[in-house]
């Protein structure tokens, strides 16, 4: 298909070249015809010089016009004039030759002209000098029509014929320069190279699509009972979860042609172009049926039609045409429409109704088993040693989508090559997770000793509050090495198991942990810094959600005060209450945060010795593991070492998905 696009591009360039060359040729032809009709251009002289030429016997012929007198010299006089001027009189040269009127046997062109003067003596003077003279004879109707035809009508006819031919060539297959033609990429079955085996972590979505594939393979099995092939299936989910990959896998499994294009490919500044492209796309698809048409990011043309704020005529015409085409084609031909979006809430209801997109298939973030499967798919062509534990990486990357996991595998391979290793180790995978989450180490950022001390106490404050509370995830790593994504230091944690729900106590503990860094700064240095900005944002977000969404506030009870918009993108919350209630919500959030901050200060104040020792060790080492952190903590608190089997929970070889950033 890329070769076809290049071919079309070359054809367009050649078309513009033909237009330019042909226009130049037509211009020269018109100029030549005009010069042939006009002949040479004589030179203007004064009336007294004209009389002197007549008196000197140098004039052969005179033509008396209505406003000019045209003068033709004798051959001898013309030669003398040429010698004296160094060239031909007038501009008889080139155009005279072109017109064919400079030969000896042809009628001579005038050499000079002068303005007409009402002189009654002139005929007698010319007659005495033996000069042939005549008056101007008006053009006949036939000669006038011929001149107008050659100089005006003929060039116009030539230009109209030329541009009609070029426009017919350019508009063949759709608007000017192919502007109304669908630019969908078509892949045949062998070219997609994707099957369901290449898609991992989306078992439910694959199951729904496998039914469609089976329908394309065995239509009789379903039509015998009266079932019809769904006209369309809408793939919905966050970015990077594999919606496009699933669509290609359907085509690869069904072994049918696969048309793929983006919703934005229909949109143009010219009204009607998008609708024309939709018509052309469905026309091609019906000719290739059975086939699959995949429209990625369909929200670009499928937004709800809104007349309150004024609509977009081009987008709405495109949507209307899409709706009409989806109603018009026959499902028995095996034409299936797949579309993908991560903004289903803004799509037009007419597009989502049964009969157009009959199925909505959720392609969500993979769970623990799904992440393991995704890592295995992307790691199958990567050489790895025996230390690699993909389940540990999957557990540590809760919330990651398929593209994140693929990027982590690739970063690990790059890191192994950078360090001169032939295989990828577990250490490379850990570092890759850190790079994806918080960026690379910023080696050129050198903090002062005082800043290192502040950041160290801040991070240990987070970690110590985590260790002192129940319902928290174990600390796995503490570092004060700056990262490129803005973190001066961070604490990494990992869950002991995959969780889909959080209790109220767990959320309250999260808020206390988030504010532990700021509490440590105030407790040790009697001041605070700007490093807790991200912590405060996280704590406020959790507290507000507890009050407005989860019904965990005694003041508001089970009242839903916020709704989520763009669930699969930023997940922004929008208040559904009045201004007075919103002010009360702010007061409740403030109360919850103050209580959590007081708890964090209490915990750190009661364990100041552990805080100081761990912070000093972190300043010296810059990075410490969860095992080293817990060892110092137990020594200070006099807690015995755990049994061998339980130490694995605080292993430093596990990394959390959500580090606390500064």
Task: In whole angstroms, give the CA distance from residue 270 to residue 274.
Answer: 8
Contact (CB, 8 A) for 397 and 201: no
Task: In whole angstroms, give the CA distance from residue 289 to residue 643.
Answer: 66
Residue 463 tokens read as 């970690």
Distances (CA, A) of 429 to 104, 390, 420: 97, 9, 15
Query: What are the two backbone dihedrals, phi and then psi, of residue 660, each rounded to the nearest 5 degrees?
Result: -85, 115
Query: What are the two backbone dihedrals, phi and then psi, of residue 365, each rounded to the nearest 5 degrees?
Result: -65, 140
Residue 66 tokens read as 């209505």
Task: In whole angstroms, give the CA distance from residue 16 to residue 445.
Answer: 55
Closest CA to 548 of 506, 512, 540: 540
Map tokens 């504010």 to a residue: 515
DSSP 306-345: --SS---HHHHHHHHHHHHHHHHS-GGG-EEEEEEES-GG
Map tokens 């050499």 to a residue: 111
Burial of residue 362 (number of CB atoms within 10 Å: 0-12, 13-18, 19+) = middle
Contact (CB, 8 A) for 560 and 549: yes
What length does the chain have? 662
**Core vs surface per residue 289-313: b (16+ CB within 10 A) or e:** bbbbbbbbbbbbbbbeeeeeeeeee
**Contacts for 335 with CB less than 8 Å, ≥ 6 apart:** 285, 286, 289, 290, 291, 293, 329
Task: In whole angstroms, give the CA distance from residue 611 to residue 607.
Answer: 6
Residue 280: CB atoms within 10 Å: 19
| Alpha-carbon torsion, ordered 567, 659, 606, 470, to 10 deg | 60
Strand partners for 112: 43, 71
Task: In whole angstroms, give the CA distance from residue 429 to residue 394.
Answer: 11
> Catalytic residue positions?
459
Distance of CA 504 to the CA centre of its chain: 42
Residue 90 tokens read as 């007038």
Task: In whole angstroms, give the CA distance from residue 619 to residue 457.
Answer: 9
Three-state helix/strand/coil letters over 484-536: CCCCCCEEEECCCCCCCCCCHHHHHHHHHHHCHHHHHHHHHHCCCCHHHHHHH
Beta strands 232-236 and 185-187 are: unpaired
Map tokens 């002949």 to a residue: 39
């Amino acid at each position: 298909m890329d070769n076809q696009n290049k071919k079309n591009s070359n054809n367009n360039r050649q078309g513009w070249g033909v237009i330019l060359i042909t226009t130049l040729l037509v211009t020269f032809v018109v100029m030549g015809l005009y010069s042939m009709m006009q002949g040479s251009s004589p030179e203007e002289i004064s009336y007294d010089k004209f009389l002197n030429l007549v008196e000197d016997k140098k004039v052969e012929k005179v033509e008396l016009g209505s406003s000019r007198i045209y003068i033709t010299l004798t051959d001898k006089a013309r030669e003398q004039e040429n010698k004296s001027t160094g060239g031909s009189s007038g501009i008889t040269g080139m155009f005279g030759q072109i017109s064919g009127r400079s030969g000896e046997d042809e009628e001579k062109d005038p050499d000079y002209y002068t303005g007409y003067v009402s002189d009654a003596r002139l005929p007698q003077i010319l007659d005495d000098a033996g000069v042939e003279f005549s008056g101007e004879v008006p053009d006949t109707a036939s000669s006038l029509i011929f001149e107008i035809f050659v100089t005006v009508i003929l060039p116009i006819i030539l230009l109209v014929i030329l541009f009609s031919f070029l426009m017919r060539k350019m508009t063949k297959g759709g608007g000017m320069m192919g502007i109304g033609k669908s630019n969908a990429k078509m892949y045949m079955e062998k070219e997609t190279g994707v099957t369901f085996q290449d898609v991992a972590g989306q078992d439910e979505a694959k199951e729904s699509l496998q039914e469609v594939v089976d329908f394309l393979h065995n239509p009789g099995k379903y039509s015998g009972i009266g079932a019809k092939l769904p006209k369309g299936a809408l793939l919905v989910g966050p970015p990077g979860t594999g919606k496009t990959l699933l669509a290609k896998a359907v085509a690869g499994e069904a072994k049918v042609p696969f048309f793929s294009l983006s919703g934005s490919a229909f949109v143009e500044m010219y009204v009607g172009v998008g609708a024309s492209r939709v018509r052309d796309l469905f026309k091609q698809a019906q000719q290739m049926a059975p086939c699959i048409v995949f429209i990625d990011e369909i929200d670009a043309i499928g937004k709800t039609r809104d007349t309150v704020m004024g609509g977009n005529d081009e987008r709405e015409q495109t949507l209307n045409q899409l709706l009409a085409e989806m109603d018009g084609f026959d499902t028995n031909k095996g034409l299936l429409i797949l579309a993908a979006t991560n903004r289903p809430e803004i799509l037009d209801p007419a597009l989502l109704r049964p009969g157009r997109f009959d199925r909505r298939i959720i392609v969500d973030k993979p769970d623990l088993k799904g992440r393991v499967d995704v890592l295995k798919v992307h790691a199958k062509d990567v050489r790895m040693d025996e230390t690699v534990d993909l389940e540990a990486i999957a557990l540590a990357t809760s919330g990651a989508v398929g593209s994140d996991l693929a990027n982590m595998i690739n970063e690990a391979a790059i890191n192994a090559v950078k360090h001169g290793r032939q295989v990828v180790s577990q250490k490379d995978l850990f570092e890759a997770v850190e790079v994806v989450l918080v960026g690379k180490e910023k080696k050129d950022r050198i903090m002062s000793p005082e800043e290192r001390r502040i950041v160290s106490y801040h991070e240990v404050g987070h970690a110590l509050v985590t260790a002192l509370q129940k319902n928290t995830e174990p600390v796995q790593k503490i570092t004060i090495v700056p990262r490129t994504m803005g973190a001066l230091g961070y604490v990494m944690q990992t869950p002991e198991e995959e969780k889909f729900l959080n209790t109220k106590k767990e959320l309250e503990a999260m808020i206390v942990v988030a504010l532990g860094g700021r509490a440590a700064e105030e407790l040790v240095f009697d001041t605070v810094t700007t490093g807790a900005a991200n912590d405060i944002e996280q704590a406020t977000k959790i507290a507000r959600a507890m009050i407005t969404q989860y019904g965990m506030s005694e003041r508001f009870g089970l009242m839903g005060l916020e709704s989520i918009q763009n669930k699969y993108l930023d997940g922004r919350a929008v208040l559904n209450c009045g201004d007075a209630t919103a002010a009360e919500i702010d007061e409740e959030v403030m109360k919850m945060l103050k209580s959590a901050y007081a708890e964090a200060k209490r915990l750190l104040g009661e364990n100041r010795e552990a805080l100081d020792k761990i912070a000093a060790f972190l300043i010296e080492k810059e990075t410490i593991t969860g095992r080293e952190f817990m060892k110092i903590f137990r020594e200070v608190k006099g807690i015995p070492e755990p049994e061998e089997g339980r130490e694995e929970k605080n292993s430093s070889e596990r990394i959390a998905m959500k580090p606390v950033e500064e």
